[in-house]
Chains A and B, each alone.
Chain A
Amino acid sequence: MSLTTPRTDWRAGIERRLTRTREFVDDTDPEALAVVLASMGSLVAAFFGFLLASAWTAVPLGAFLIATGYGWVRHQALVARAVSFAMTTVTLVTLGLIVVFIFVESIPAFRYETTSVFGVSVPGLGMFAQTRWDAVSEPVRYSLLPMIHGTVMVTAIATLVAAPIGVAAALFIAEIASLRVRELVKPGIEVLAGIPSIVYGFIGFTVINPWASGAFALNGGSTYLFVGMVVGLMALPTVVSVAEDALTSVPDVMKNGSLALGATDWQSMISITLPAAFSGVSAAVLLGVGRAIGETMAATVMLAGIPRISDPLVNVFYGYETLTSLIARGYGSANGVHESALFVAGVVLFVTVLCLSIASQYIEARMRRRLGGAE
């Protein structure tokens, strides 16, 4: 371990980079450099023009196309490198724009729902400290708690469906199925992922809801129970494919070692393969949970659309509203603070799912390190 402070490391890094850049500039054909600079500069200008909603955006965009086109003919290698770098930043920029725009749009609702705690006024707390959502009649309040409750109910049921079934199916594909059966089941699971959510919703609306209404003598056919099961079915393919990847990445020699000791296939799966792939499998379940939380159309079409908390809390025979369906149903007819409140729902969804995604990536990276150490 060196004793250099992070700051000197950092400075050295900058210096190294500067030197490298200088060398690069010296080594490169000045014309190529000029073309690339023009191309990248006009791209940045076009981006800011677009951001400011300027009608003149077309001009730098055109300049970018011309400069890049010219450069592509004359200095392809350098232009390709610069353009592919610009494309790489698009993902980062997109994520950044999503964060900025949905947060900015949600500010009015945060302001409106300011509540003071111990004399300190906390913006937005009102959305989580009481349970009334009513955008029309006084008092107009925008509590997200009913929708969070709905999302939790649907996600919990969906996870109960998708996690065990998904892991079992992944075990089947990775460990049990013969090659031919696997070639049949895997595309089948992919196709299941491909069925559009609105088709699930349509079947739920026209078939499941009426059936449930009759079979349980319900007040209307919307239930968290069946929405959860449908959403679970939709989250299933995510769980299966990610978990299957994790299971197949466990080295075969480990499993053979267990079999050679006289353990059965099932014992080897349960005590060797599954524990070794445990992080990957839990990442799969996390991603499945993320899918279930974000699922919109089936919930929108099948739920009643009433922002209310069911009583008792765990009553699965009510189906009121989730965060996603609130946005899908309300957007367009809403304006002002109401619209802004929908963006808050979006923020809650986005942050939750992003956290799940980052957590699952962390878990997977840890697994890769551990298995890498085993070889």
Chain B
Amino acid sequence: MSQTDAEAVTTTANRTDGEAVSTTAGETVEETRPEWTSYEAGGETKLAVENLDVHYGDDHALTDVSMDIPEQSVTALIGPSGCGKSTFLRCLNRMNDRIRAANVDGTVELDGEDVYQDGVDLVELRKRVGMVFQSPNPFPKSIRENVSYGPRKHGDIDTGLLARLTGRAEPGREEALVERSLERAALWEEVRDRLDDNALGLSGGQQQRLCIARCLAVDPEVILMDEPASALDPIATSKIEDLIEDLAQDYTVVVVTHSMQQAARVSDQTAVFLTGGELVEYDDTEKIFENPESQRVEDYISGKFG
């Protein structure tokens, strides 16, 4: 399905839904459509979030969020801006720790281990839970160095002077890793001849795929993506979307997006956050977009607010 087709279909579907609602009386609708209560996603649970509350000083950014994110699938987080979806994403690899005023309560379990318990090794956590940011942020280094940055920092690859002197360097391993990661991120063909060029010379879409390759090189289990295509043009966006679907075969992908079409296209399940940092509904993507339980989600999806 091409992008425009998908968009057309979703919008029509939404519009008919929306009209259907608006024809019925507003008050009764809420009674006939109870708020969503719980959802059991299929497959093994990778991340289990339990009663997560986040405050920034006096501001409540997330209110009592609980959800299970299944393994090897794409989970989309949607909602209006300021609804806490990015905050939620940043809780999963504790990037919120960088913001000093942030106050986190509740548990986030990765394979049954709470990431917020005392003594958690953030290095280990972030190796297992990778992240791709909103705007592409490659390091001002060569493409090769960008990809091998993580493994180098973790001591898995060492091509430093000392390692070369003592014969510990394995240049072949670095080459293989760079090629594998770039290939997995669908970038290899485009950059194979200029691995030593500065990464800042790539186009926006290429930069973002490089950031994904950089993340894959650390061999994570979960990949968090914070609006990965919001700064890109439509063609680059569709490439990223294809890539996300493809990655879900091996990885657990959680993607925040402000584009409902994108969520509908790439995700297996979708969580809708609304203002106040509240998780309003979480279900299979099809269900969310075609027949949501909650009236507010219905309104949001049909474009009535948000």
Which residues of A are at the interface with B, using a C-beta cutoff of 8 A?
A: 178-179, 251, 253-254, 256-264, 267, 271-272, 275-276, 370, 373-374
Is there contact, CB below 8 Å, between B139 and A254?
A: yes
Is there contact, CB below 8 Å, between B139 and A260?
A: no
Residue from the list B125, B133, B138 in contact with A256, Cβ < 8 A: B133
What are the 9 A-B residue pairs with the smallest beta carbon separation, nearest first?
A262-B126, A260-B131, A261-B150, A262-B127, A253-B137, A263-B153, A257-B137, A262-B123, A267-B153
Residue from the list A179, A253, A264, A276 in contact with B133, Cβ < 8 A: A253
CA distance in complex: A276, B93 (Å): 25
Residue from the list A178, A254, A263, A275 in contact with B137, Cβ < 8 A: A254
**Minimum distance in angstroms from A287 CB to a CB of chain B:** 23
Residue from the list B95, B100, B123, B131 in contact with A264, Cβ < 8 A: B123
- Whether, in the assembled complex, B157 has its beta carbon less than 8 Å from a beta carbon of chain A, the answer is no
Residue from the list B93, B100, B135 in contact with A260, Cβ < 8 A: B93
For chain B, the count of residues having a C-beta within 8 Å of the partner chain is: 28
Is there contact, CB below 8 Å, between A260 and B130?
A: yes
- Whether, in the assembled complex, B19 has its beta carbon less than 8 Å from a beta carbon of chain A, the answer is no
**Minimum distance in angstroms from A161 CB to a CB of chain B:** 28
Residue from the list A251, A256, A262 in contact with B218, Cβ < 8 A: A262
CA distance in complex: A275, B149 (Å): 14
List of A residues within 8 angstroms of B214 by Cβ: 257, 261
CA distance in complex: A26, B130 (Å): 66
List of B residues within 8 angstroms of A272 by Cβ: 139
Is there contact, CB below 8 Å, between B215 and A262?
A: no
Is there contact, CB below 8 Å, between B215 and A256?
A: no
Question: What is the chain B residue whose CB lies nearest that of A263?
Answer: B153
**Minimum distance in angstroms from B16 CB to a CB of chain A:** 41
Residue from the list A261, A271, A374 in contact with B126, Cβ < 8 A: A261
CA distance in complex: A253, B200 (Å): 14
CA distance in complex: A258, B133 (Å): 11
- Whether, in the assembled complex, B140 has its beta carbon less than 8 Å from a beta carbon of chain A, the answer is yes
Mark out the residues of chain B between 138 and 191 whose CB falls within 8 Å of any chain A CB in the assembled complex: 138-141, 149-150, 153-154
Question: What is the chain B residue whose CB lies nearest that of A270?
Answer: B153
Interface centre among A178, A260, A264, A374 (most CB of B within 10 A): A260
Given contacts A257-B211, A262-B126, 15 further A-B contacts (CB under 8 A): A179-B100, A251-B137, A253-B133, A256-B133, A257-B133, A257-B137, A258-B153, A260-B126, A261-B127, A261-B130, A261-B218, A263-B123, A263-B150, A264-B153, A267-B153
